[in-house]
Amino acid sequence: MRVTVCGASGLLGNALMREWAGDEVTGLRSKDADIRDARQVAKAVLDSRPDWIVLAAAYTDVDGCEKHPALAFDINVQGAVNVADAAKRSGVRLLFLSSDYVFDGSNGSPYETTDPRKPLNVYGRTKAEAEERLLEIIPNCCIVRTSWLFGRGGKCFPDTILDLARTRTEIDVVNDQRGSPTYNTDLARAIIGLCRDGATGIVHVTNAGHCTWYDFAKTIIDDEGLKTSVRPTTGENFARPAARPKYSVLSPRSLHQHHITMPSWQDALGRYLSQRKSQALPLAR
């Protein structure tokens, strides 16, 4: 199988390029093909002649999207449409990365793939619109919604917490937003499995279990045996440009239909922290 990964330089893209063995994989960065430019995308698809495109390229700065909505729609919606158009013309299967932020967080139980989209912020609106447009262009495309990504290859929450812990004795972390941390390595493995399984439709892929950002930070500090005190705070006290859903846990039912199960987020975090230690990874900033 031949695969083209758009967004190969990102947090997920790095993991996909590391983990994907046994197939012919081409990784594209924005300087190889800017997805906003339909001609660049068409040429990249013709050159790499893939069976699958994994579209992990996006404008992912959630607060940046509030400040630059036109750019966000250009990359996350028009860019995705350009890739889907090129995939359709060449008869290529498409797997598109989407987000838990397509939901507003008012559910009291894990979101199913059939729950209606109701984004709270610009980033979520771009992802929700892209999902709808892509399903119109390629009805059998696969849409993988994930959340709270961490791992080697980009800026991520555990690195930020460990960076803060070096200079602070106390850190305040939001305790009223609940979701599922997801290790890029585990997500990459699941995506590889989904492509090999010929997956179609919406699939939710996160590590198992859920927590608040406070729980996540506390576990990072405790696992590392640090003395920094982690204090719970609220989203209201930690105002940011983009509103965040208070509850964005995704049900794994759609993933289990492909006979793929994900390790718990605590297990995934433990593996990431040991990997950082064993490879003395520098903090991504």
Ligand X SMILES: NC(=O)c1ccc[n+]([C@@H]2O[C@H](COP(=O)([O-])OP(=O)(O)OC[C@H]3O[C@@H](n4cnc5c(N)ncnc54)[C@H](OP(=O)(O)O)[C@@H]3O)[C@@H](O)[C@H]2O)c1
Residues designated as active site: 123
Stretch that binds ligand X, among 9-17, 86-94, 207-215, 218-226 (CB under 6 A): 9-17
Nearer to ligand X, 129 or 228 (CB): 129
25 binds ligand X, rule: CB under 6 A: no
Residue 255: name the closest of 111, 153, 118 by CA. 111
| Candidate list 54, 97, 128, 211; residue touching ligand X; CB under 6 A | 97
Strands 211-212 and 178-179: antiparallel
Q: Which residue is nearest to ligand X (CB)?
A: 10
- In whole angstroms, the minimum distance from the beta carbon of 257 to ligand X comes to 21
Residue 98 C-beta-side C-alpha neighbours within 13 Å: 35
| Candidate list 45, 53, 54, 57; residue touching ligand X; CB under 6 A | 57
| Separation of alpha carbons 134 and 80, rounded Å | 7
Nearer to ligand X, 185 or 228 (CB): 185
Task: Tell me the site size for ligand X, rule CB under 6 A.
Answer: 26
The interaxial angle of helices 80-90 and 38-48, nearest 10 deg, is: 40
Is the alpha carbon torsion for 3, 78, 111, 173 positive or negative?
positive
Nearer to ligand X, 46 or 170 (CB): 46
- Give me 183's structure tokens: 């290790």
Nearer to ligand X, 9 or 185 (CB): 9
Dump strand ranges (E) for 19-78.
Answer: 24-28, 52-55
- In whole angstroms, the minimum distance from the beta carbon of 123 to ligand X comes to 8
12 binds ligand X, rule: CB under 6 A: yes
| Candidate list 151, 154, 245, 252; residue touching ligand X; CB under 6 A | 154
Residue found under tokens 């585990």? 186
Contact (Cβ atoms closer than 8 angstroms) between residue 10 and residue 60:
yes
Is the alpha carbon torsion for 82, 83, 84, 85 positive or negative?
positive
Nearer to ligand X, 45 or 58 (CB): 58
119 binds ligand X, rule: CB under 6 A: no
186 binds ligand X, rule: CB under 6 A: no
| Separation of alpha carbons 158 and 188, rounded Å | 19
Residues engaged in binding ligand X (CB under 6 A): 7, 9-13, 29-31, 34-36, 56-60, 75, 79, 97, 99, 146-149, 154
